[in-house]
Amino acid sequence: MISNLNNSVAFYRNLFNRMPISLSFDTARFTWEKKELLLTETGKQPEVKSCHTVEVHSVEHLHEMYARIKRYISQYDWHSQCKILDKQFAVSDPDGHQWIIKQGEVEINCSIADYCFLEQTTK
């Protein structure tokens, strides 16, 4: 559940480096690495924030994803002080759902205190 489909599609298009496989006025569907993500616009911020992980196959791929997200957030009003930490980085989507992108067997948890997050700032 997301509050604004346009914002979320732009975010996930940059994160996954692909267009949604289907798009309607209130839903979008992405596939990536045999996984599927269905976004449904509700018009309000979700009360419960989720945490997801994506494992990439190489450190180079990790750095490519990180660079895409950094370019994306530089175009918007985002606050960023993020670095790749121990073969992983984390980012929050426009609704606050957390995504941890990792390479290899890295122990993770979804604690904002332990990971570096790129969060949208409000004006």
Higher pLDDT, 85 or 79: 85
Asked if residue 109 has pLDDT above 90, the reply is no
Work out whether the CA dihedral 101, 96, 28, 7 comes out positive or negative: negative
pLDDT tens digits, 30-72: 998 788 999 999 988 888 888 888 888 888 998 899 888 888 8
Reported pTM:
0.80
Domains of the chain are 5-120 (3.10.180.10)
